[in-house]
């Protein structure tokens, strides 16, 4: 555990060394962790916990693609792979990792199975914070905790296998047993986190929804697409437009930022690039910041939540999603990207 100070703000950070394997097993030794849902987060978190010596069972609907994927990963039907209700019944800590819309739909079935002393674990504050929309209001006699990895479940698993850990947020919403915090932190390290930063359910969901729609996914793709289209409209080839928009960012510059920060990346670029970046970043900030303010207000008010639940609850949601993703995949920008990626040295060596 360490104290970090950024400006006038001091934060306590939980480190992996604070919860070595023997301490995790001591805290969770009598627990059964039931992971409901075997999507991206469910898979990564459950496999990491199993590898860390924690007793884990997976709950999933039989006959689905996720059930088949869990079997392929070594979960045994009737033993460690069970229907959702049976897993929830057996679990003492229930990781509720269905989709946000799925959590809303399944809540009336799950709630009676959350008997006194259990813990209900989330990786997103969505269902609790927007409970008036989801209907998710936990019983008063259980712990309600959160561990939110700052990345995809694929990254959670990949980092774990590489001996690294991903950053994660943690929060305790309800402590009925007096053990909620210890359960939360032990689970947080067991799933593969390297560092845990304390937050609240409300702050986690507002920052997360803003980030996903903003620089993590929505805004970054919007910026890439705008630059790509401008370059193409002025006669640049697809490969040149893609290289200058995406490839150089993801393969060269973003890794430099990850290593030592934005200033270090700037210092390791040409003086022409430095001058251009320093002259233009505030102009982009000034144009985009009002849009981020609008986005933040829509998230905090619950408007974005309502749209998410409405869209994801439609019977044709999966078909519409596949259609939208196909449009992106078949766009010229990402067809160019597929060709450019195929030329990377590691791809060539695999052929």
Beta-bridge mates of residue 77 = 81
- In angstroms, rounded to a whole number, what is the distance separating the alpha carbons of residues 331 and 333? 5
Q: What is the pTM of this model?
A: 0.86
Check pLDDT > 50 for residue 44.
yes
Do residues 146 and 282 share a domain? no
pLDDT in tens, 284-321: 999 999 999 999 999 999 999 999 999 988 889 889 99
Binning pLDDT at 50, 70 and 90, where does residue 346 land?
low
Q: Give me the domain span that covers residue 318.
A: 211-350
Do residues 9 and 49 share a domain? yes
Check pLDDT > 80 for residue 200.
yes
| Angle (CA) 222 40 141, round 5° | 115
CATH number of domain containing 165: 3.40.50.720
pLDDT in tens, 238-254: 999 999 999 999 999 99
Do residues 150 and 222 share a domain? no
CA atoms within 13 A on the CB side of 222: 11
CATH number of domain containing 238: 1.10.1040.10
Do residues 108 and 255 share a domain? no
Q: What is the pLDDT of residue 22?
A: 92
Do residues 191 and 256 share a domain? no
> What share of the chain in percent tops pLDDT 90?
88
Check pLDDT > 60 for residue 213.
yes
Q: What is the pLDDT of residue 6?
A: 85
First to last CA, the chain: 46
Active site residues: 124
Rounded mean pLDDT, 27-34: 96
pLDDT in tens, 153-181: 999 999 999 999 999 999 999 999 999 99
Sign of the alpha-carbon torsion through 113, 116, 122, 126: positive
Place of tokens 């739909």: 105
Write the CA distances from 68 to 33, 60, 75, 81, 262, integer angstroms.
20, 10, 10, 10, 43
């Amino acid at each position: 555990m360490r104290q970090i100070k950024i400006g006038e703000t001091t934060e306590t950070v939980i480190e992996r060394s604070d919860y070595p394997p023997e301490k995790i097993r001591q805290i969770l030794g009598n627990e059964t962790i039931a992971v409901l849902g075997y999507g991206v987060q469910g898979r990564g978190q459950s496999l990491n916990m199993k590898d860390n010596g924690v007793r884990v069972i997976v709950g999933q609907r039989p006959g689905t693609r996720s059930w088949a994927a869990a079997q392929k990963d070594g979960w045994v039907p009737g033993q460690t792979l069970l229907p959702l209700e049976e897993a929830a019944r057996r679990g003492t800590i229930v990781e509720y990792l269905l989709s946000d819309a799925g959590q809303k739909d399944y809540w009336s079935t799950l709630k009676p199975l959350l008997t006194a002393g259990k813990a209900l674990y989330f990786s997103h504050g969505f269902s609790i914070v927007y409970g008036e929309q989801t209907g998710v209001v936990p019983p008063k006699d259980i712990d309600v905790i959160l561990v939110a990895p700052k990345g995809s479940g694929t990254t959670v698993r990949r980092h774990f296998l590489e001996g690294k850990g991903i950053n994660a947020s943690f929060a305790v919403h309800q402590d009925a047993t007096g053990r909620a915090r210890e359960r939360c932190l032990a689970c947080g390290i067991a799933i593969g986190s390297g560092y845990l930063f304390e937050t609240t359910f409300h702050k986690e969901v507002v920052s997360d929804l803003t980030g996903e729609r903003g620089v993590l996914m929505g805004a970054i793709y919007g910026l890439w697409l705008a630059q790509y289209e401008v370059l193409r409209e002025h006669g640049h080839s697809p490969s040149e437009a893609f290289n200058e928009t995406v490839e150089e960012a993801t393969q060269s510059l973003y890794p430099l930022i990850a290593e030592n920060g934005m200033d270090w990346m700037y210092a390791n670029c040409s003086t022409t690039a430095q001058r251009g970046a320093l002259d233009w970043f505030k102009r982009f900030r000034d144009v985009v910041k009002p849009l981020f303010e609008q986005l933040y207000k829509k998230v905090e008010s619950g408007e974005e939540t309502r749209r998410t639940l409405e869209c994801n609850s439609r019977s044709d949601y999966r078909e519409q999603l596949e259609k939208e993703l196909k449009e992106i995949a078949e766009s010229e920008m990402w067809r160019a990207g597929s060709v450019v990626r195929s030329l990377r040295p590691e791809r060539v060596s695999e052929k």
